[in-house]
């Protein structure tokens, strides 16, 4: 085992430090957040920090680093109040990664990738076509994390649109049936496969598989 102390980490060059810290918390969700400007220009950007916050009411959150790319995403979310979260599948990873390029605000990443917009009745913001899980979200609040200047965005889940085949018993979504990816670090895309599911754990009772 190799030990990296706090001091060692602080003194690493930027790229090795970014790689290390972005890989060290484990696999991350791989989502495209899609928005629209007031002027109607679409925007889409890859995020690896979307996390569910609770199911009643249904809410999710994600972390924004104000100094990095998705500033357009933030501005659009604040202007319009709504955005979508779309799972990335294996066939989308080149386009998904390319959305992290710093395009100007009046350029839609949909025009510079093979990602396609999809619209549903009554919703003005775009979804990403082919994504097996698409979530329509409403901005609720944000918390400034004063320790490093990041922002934790909080949103309610207004609608979830799901490809039928991944919906299993009691609404568990089996993501590997559609090759949903996970992110390892900053730039590595991985495809998970299901190994096992377990029953609700109870003290002193051996944990049982339910697959």
Footprint on residues 57-116 left by its own copies (CB under 8 A):
57-61, 63, 65, 85, 87, 90, 93-94, 97-104, 107, 112
Q: Report the site for its own copies in 175-204 (rule: CB under 8 A).
A: 175-176, 180-182, 184-204
Is 117 a binding residue for its own copies by CB under 8 A? The answer is no
Looking at the chain, how many residues does it have? 211
For 4, 38, 43, 87, 202, the CA distances from 111, given in Å and listed in that order, are 42, 18, 10, 19, 51
For tokens 């096992």, name the residue.
Answer: 196
Least distance in angstroms from the C-beta of 200 to its own copies? 7
Is 123 a binding residue for its own copies by CB under 8 A? The answer is no
129 to 148: interface string for its own copies, x by CB under 8 A: ----xxx----xx-x-xxxx
CA 190 to chain CA mean position, Å? 14
Q: Report the site for its own copies in 16-55 (rule: CB under 8 A).
A: 16-31, 49-55
How many residues bind its own copies, per CB under 8 A? 116
Least distance in angstroms from the C-beta of 202 to its own copies? 5
Residue by residue, DSSP assigns 130-184 as T-SEEEEEEEEEEEEETTTTEEEEEEEEEEEEE-GGGB-GGG-B-GGGGTB-EEE
């Amino acid at each position: 085992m190799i030990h990296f102390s706090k001091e060692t980490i602080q003194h690493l060059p930027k790229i090795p430090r970014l790689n290390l810290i972005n890989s060290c918390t484990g696999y991350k969700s791989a989502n495209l957040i899609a928005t629209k400007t007031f002027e109607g220009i679409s925007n889409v950007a890859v995020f690896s920090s979307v996390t569910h916050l609770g199911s009643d009411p249904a809410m999710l959150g994600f972390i924004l680093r104000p100094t990095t790319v998705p500033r357009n995403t933030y501005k659009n979310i604040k202007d319009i109040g709504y955005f979508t979260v779309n799972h990335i599948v294996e066939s989308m990873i080149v386009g998904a990664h390319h959305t992290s390029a710093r395009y100007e605000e009046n350029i839609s990443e949909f025009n510079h990738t093979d990602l396609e917009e999809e619209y549903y009745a009554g919703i003005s913001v775009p979804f990403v076509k082919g994504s097996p899980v698409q979530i329509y979200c409403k901005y609720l609040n944000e918390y400034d994390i004063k320790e490093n200047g990041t922002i934790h965005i909080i949103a309610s889940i207004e609608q979830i649109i799901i490809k039928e085949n991944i919906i299993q018993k009691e609404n568990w979504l089996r993501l590997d049936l559609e090759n949903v990816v996970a992110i390892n670090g900053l730039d590595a895309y991985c495809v998970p496969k299901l190994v096992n599911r377990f029953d609700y754990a109870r003290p002193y009772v051996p944990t049982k598989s339910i697959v």
